[in-house]
Amino acid sequence: MYYAYKYRLKPSDAHREELDRHRDMCRQLYNHTLYRLNESQDEHGELPSMTTLRSELPDLKKWWDGLSDVYSKVLQTVVERLFDNLNGLSKLKENGYGVGQLKWKPPREFRSFTYSQSGFKLDKKGGQAVLSLSKLADIPIRLHRAIPDDATLKQVTVKKEPTGEWFATFGVQMDREPPEPPENPEKCVGVDVGILKYAHDTDGTAVGSLDLSDERERLEREQRKLSRKQHGSNNYEKQRRRVAECHADLRRKRRDFLHKLSAYYAREYDLVAVEDLNVKGMMESPSNSRNTASAAWGTFLSLLEYKCEREGTHFVAVDPKGTTKECASCGVSTDKPLWVREHSCPACGFEADRDANAAWNIFSRGLENIGVGYSESPPVETALAVETPVSAKRVVEAGSPTLTERTASAVSE
């Protein structure tokens, strides 16, 4: 299995200057390779292969000052990066999207470079953990969590964020195989995601959405200040970094919440059923798109999927059509506008919270998808809304007993 471990670098001013120089050399090589592709296509109508362009790198070093200062593997990954982008465009064209051509990268859009297989090493010098990069420097790194002993470092990507901070992301291969999901899962749960309550599951737990209103207000305030600065001035650059810091703060808090919530479900259950949402299509809707974007359901589902694979948990994505309308007790569909938050079935009289009813429908479809039965029928009392939903702030460290305790108390009630 492959994982990514991300750490903050602590470069000195001299290190920052060298990092920026190497990054810019990689950017220029990317643009040169793109020029070579366009030139060859115009003359011969065929694109040279990635192997051909990589074989030209030793000759480029003879007349290109500074290119020899960059590690050879880094230069090769720049060429691979260009072909990866071309493959991405081809896939979009095959799916019917209208796409143009690749453009040259300005400095602000080329922020990273990669050491692959060799040229990097985690070391310790003077009591300080450092990342040794060939032909660059030994850069102090903040290892806030340890990389497992049985892991093999395959590559490292060094990236400069818009805030000016530098990070290193390690591509890690684990020697062990992930555990197999159980054939007869015992602890199963269905999870319905939403706006007012981020997650409502069939165990009676409702997790509130993360409140980022203060962070958004700060971002809007800093953006207004930026609009009054003269573009290109020193004050403009300082304010641009403040805006970037606001964006980074929002993104960091949201991903932290999603990581912890997805880790909880992956570790506590044998089977997790969720809706297979078309988030991109929902984003294109003119109504409520901002709240949909802020909820980041697509990110949550992708995090939950890979963590379930890592923990040996069944991840089942079911068809979301009708999960809100159908009655979890008798299956009769009832139209409900968005502002109606309670489910009341005219056929059988079953009443429950709207999200709880949807969670039970997701749960039932998830069991059907993998072909397992469940001994217990969904009791009416567990489908009702909990009196005190779990606040997003209570989703603390991943694997903590906070949600577990809340679930246990909700079921006992």
Q: Which tens digits make up the pLDDT trace of 87-115?
A: 888 888 887 777 788 889 998 899 999 99
In order of 274, 313, 404, the CA distances from 179 in angstroms are 21, 8, 23
Q: Which of 218, 191, 222 is nearest to 207 (CA)?
A: 191
Amino acid identity, position 3: Y
d(CA 372, CA 196): 32
Instruction: Please tell me the pTM assigned to this model.
Output: 0.80
**pLDDT tens digit sequence for 181-219:** 888 888 999 998 888 889 888 888 888 888 888 999 999
Mean pLDDT, range 331-339, rounded to an integer: 77
Between 161 and 319, where is the model more confident? 161
What is the residue extent of each domain of the chain?
A: 2-174, 188-412
- pLDDT for 96: 78
d(CA 150, CA 78): 29
